[in-house]
Amino acid sequence: MAKALSEILAEEVRAALTAVVGEAARGADPLIRPSDHADFQANGVLPLAKAVKGNPRELATRVAAALPTSGVIAAVEVAGPGFLNLTLADSALAAQTAERLGDARLGVAPTGVGQTTVIDYSQPNIAKEMHVGHLRSTVIGDALVRLLEFDGRTVVRQNHLGDWGTQFGMLIQFLVEHPGDRLSGAEHSGEVAISWLTDLYRDARAKFDGDPEFADRARKRVVTLQGGDAESLAAWEEMVAESKRYFEDVYARLDVRLVDADAVGESFYNPFLAEVAADLEERGVAVWSNGALCVFFDGVLGPDGEPVPLIVRKSDGGFGYAATDLAAIRYRVDTLKADQILYVVDSRQALHFRMVFETARRAGYLPDGVEAVHVQFGSVLGKDGKPFKTRAGQTVRLIELLDSAVDHAVATVAEKNPDLDAEQARAEARVVGIGAVKYADLSTSRTKDYIFDLDRMVSLNGNTSVYLQYAHARIHSILRKLPAGTVARVHPGTALEPAERRLALHLDEFGATLAAVAAEFEPHRLATYLYTLAQTFSDFYENCPVVKAPSDEVRENRAALVRLTADTLKLGLELLGISAPDQL
Ligand code: ARG
């Protein structure tokens, strides 16, 4: 497995710093950065000179002399007040390319082997349409699953479905009183299922709001459901099954890895709630206040200045969202053996998770060695900058939205390749359109809001998946055009052009980029890396002919860079959940 050259440089510079100033430099960061004057610049001498009260320029000169220039480093130059400009040996670049090329992991070492991440994502609610917030959670969660698995971790997916709560009393009561409204058992699509559920929800709600006697029966129904009454459970199960049919339809269109076995909804934790509440009370973590069992926090106050508690048990005796999350933490730590628990949920729930994590720490459910992270994200906005809604102010139907992304992509695909027949165009548009929706989400910094604009998403220009997918396909077409018998192979003795060096160096940073993405849960950094890679490749291809290279050796060397670029783009996009066909 190959370390990045920037990492190797950091080690060499740190060793030289230590040789010159001794112990004071041992933990120091050599601050290796890309440079316009050389391949890299090391800025770490300045802070160290300050610490040991030495002259930075003089110190830099001594460090430069202590750096070996017969291996990875070809030349060192002291610049400015005490920077080191570092130029790498062509042979070092060649060795890196050779080591990555042809390796299934492109030379990237897994760092998380033996560790378990539990990831809570997607989390739609039963009997309700998924909204764009669920889309974000699903897309970001799926990318993180792929990235963390690639990093060697065991990843346990948990789809924390909203499948419990008092609203089910109303829905079940309505269903029981209107048996004729049931959907037949015959095969039907997720779309049919969700439209039935939406109508049911609307009708039940109207009746609940307009008919106090019905509302009363609905409230009693909650109690019979919780008591395990067979008729109530059967109706509930029917709604769960129909909802899953719809969710699975959405997941299949999105090509995400969630399956039925990952669905561990809120109802799963019902049997544990009373015990969790009793345990929190016994430990003194939760106290009774105004009839409710609450946990209080320093500095968490409402607009009225009164403390805002986390409510474990409501004054009517019922358990809510928070109790379920506390029981889930115990299950994830004790049974699923998590070292890390991720919650891919929108930023508006930040306070909820802060309180839940803090409570779990106090109660010992979350031991020191286990990390819990709210991987939060911003909102999806319409072109008017307001929360994304239909003109009539309703939630946008997700299936329709994905269909329209594919429709938009048909035009892009046809523009690029007018000879495609309708069926082929449609198939390619599915890959392009769905990729575009995912990429638009993943390429913006997670915590920011973004505007849902299909025209921009499927554009061939700019930082879009469409641009990257076509760049990848074009690179494959270059490989197909190589004279017969050309092998993509590194010739270590060949001198490299500046554009070749830039491309080789950027390719070499793939592993370090993935490590940063996995550590910070920031897929957008991978998107930026891939976009820069495609641009660096364009620059290389303009300056360094491949098919018409000056010699066979240079051609094979360049073919190696072309091949590695294609493989890096493909793997990078795949880790974001986006497919990149070799031909488009
Ligand atoms: N179902 C919730 C919603 O739609 C999100 C659940 C988030 N996950 C959790 N463990 N609380 O807002």
Q: Which two tokens stand for residue 365?
A: 């459910």
Q: What DSSP letter does each residue of 441-465 carry, written as one string?
A: HHTS-TTS-EE--HHHHT-SSSS-H
3-state secondary structure of 23: helix
The answer to whether 162 and 264 have CB atoms below 8 angstroms apart is no
Buried b (16+ CB within 10 A) or exposed e, 244-259: bbbbbbbbebbebebe
Query: What's the pLDDT at 391?
Result: 80
Whether ligand 1 lies within 6 angstroms of the CB of 358 is answered as no
Residue 427: CB atoms within 10 A of its CB come to: 13
Output b/e per residue, 173-210; b: 16+ Cβ within 10 A. bbbeeeeeeebeeeeeebbbbbbbbbebbeebeebbee
User: Is the domain defined by 5-88 classed in CATH 3.30.1360.70?
Assistant: yes
What is the rounded distance in angstroms from the CA atom of residue 132 to the CA atom of residue 451? 11
96-126 b/e (C-beta count within 10 Å ≥ 16 → b) = bbbbbbeeebbbbeeebeebbbbbbbbbbbb
Burial of 322 (0-12, 13-18, 19+ CB in 10 A): buried
d(C-alpha 368, C-alpha 360), whole Å: 11
With 0-12 CB in 10 A as exposed, 13-18 as middle and 19+ as buried, what is 45?
A: buried
Enumerate residues 6+ apart whose C-beta is below 8 A from 8.
72
What are the boundaries of each domain within the chain?
Answer: 5-88, 167-261, 398-455, 465-575
Handedness of CA 34, 36, 38, 43 (dihedral sign): negative
Beta-strand pair 73-79/292-295: unpaired
pTM of the predicted model as reported, rounded to 2 decimal places: 0.95
Mutate to test the pocket of ligand 1, among 118, 120, 123, 240 (most ligand atoms within 8 A of CB): 123
Whether 164 is in the pocket of ligand 1, judged by its Cβ within 6 Å, is no
Cβ neighbourhood burial of 35 (10 Å; 0-12, 13-18, 19+): middle
User: In sequence order, which residues have a C-beta less than 8 Å from that of residue 102 and are 6 or more positions away?
Assistant: none
Ligand 1 atom with minimal separation from the 134 CA: 4
Report H helices in 37-188.
45-52, 56-66, 90-100, 132-150, 167-177
Task: State the pLDDT at residue 523.
Answer: 98
Q: How do the pLDDT tens digits run along the chain, 584 residues long?
A: 789 999 999 999 999 999 998 888 888 899 999 998 899 999 999 998 888 888 999 999 999 999 998 889 999 999 999 999 999 999 999 999 999 998 999 999 999 999 999 999 999 999 999 999 999 999 999 999 999 999 999 999 999 999 998 889 999 999 999 987 777 767 889 999 999 999 999 999 999 999 999 999 999 999 899 888 999 999 999 999 999 999 999 999 999 999 999 999 999 999 999 999 999 999 999 999 999 999 999 988 888 988 999 999 999 888 989 999 999 999 999 999 999 999 999 999 999 999 999 999 999 999 999 999 999 999 999 999 998 988 888 888 899 899 999 999 999 999 999 999 999 999 999 999 999 999 999 999 999 999 999 999 999 999 999 999 999 999 999 999 999 999 999 999 899 999 999 999 999 999 999 999 999 999 999 999 999 999 999 999 999 999 999 999 999 999 999 999 999 999 999 999 999 999 98
The three-state secondary structure class of 33 is strand
What pLDDT was estimated at residue 25?
82
Q: How far is CA 429 from the centre of its chain?
A: 23
Burial label for 450, CB within 10 Å (0-12, 13-18, 19+), is middle
CA 59 to chain centre: 43
C-alpha–C-alpha distance, residues 82 and 66, integer Å: 15
Q: Does 123 sit in the ligand 1 pocket, CB within 6 Å?
A: yes
Give the 3-state secondary structure of residue 385. coil
The answer to whether the CB of 160 is under 6 A from ligand 1 is: yes
Give 556's DSSP letter. Answer: H
Tokens of 202: 């609307």
Distance CA 69, CA 16 (A): 12
Q: Please, which residues have CB within 8 angstroms of residue 494's CB and are 6 or more apart in sequence? A: 90, 94, 553, 554, 557
CA dihedral over 357, 264, 201, 129, signed as positive or negative: positive
Q: Quote the ligand 1 centre to 266 CA distance (angstroms).
A: 9
| Nearest CA residue ID for atom 4, ligand 1 | 124
Dist. CA 161 → ligand 1 center (Å): 7
Single-letter amino acid, residue 508? D
> Do 79 and 37 contact (CB within 8 A), yes or no?
yes
| Ligand 1 site-directed mutation target among 134, 140, 160, most atoms within 8 Å of CB | 160
Write down the pLDDT at residue 317: 87
**Widest Cα–Cα separation across the chain:** 89
Residue 345 Cβ inside 6 Å of ligand 1? The answer reads: yes
Closest-lying ligand 1 atom to the alpha carbon of residue 328: 10
Q: Is 163 in the pocket of ligand 1 (CB under 6 A)?
A: no
Query: What's the CA-to-centroid distance between 162 and ligand 1, angstroms?
Result: 7
- Residue 301: helix, strand or coil by DSSP? strand
> What is the spatial distance between Cα 196 and Cα 210, in angstroms, rounded to a whole number?
21
d(CA 127, CA 149): 32
**The pLDDT of residue 390:** 82
Q: At what angle do helices 132-150 and 510-520 cross, to 10 degrees?
A: 130
Q: What is the pLDDT of residue 24?
A: 83
Distance 386 CA to ligand 1 centre (A): 22
Domain 465-575 falls in which CATH fold? Isoleucyl-tRNA Synthetase; Domain 1 (1.10.730)
E strand or H helix at 83:
strand 83-88
Give the amino acid at 128: K
Which mutation among 125, 247, 349 tests ligand 1's pocket best, with the greatest number of atoms within 8 A of CB? 349
Ligand 1 centroid – CA 533 distance (Å): 36
Cα(494)–Cα(93) distance, rounded to whole angstroms? 11
Q: SS3 of 346, please? A: strand
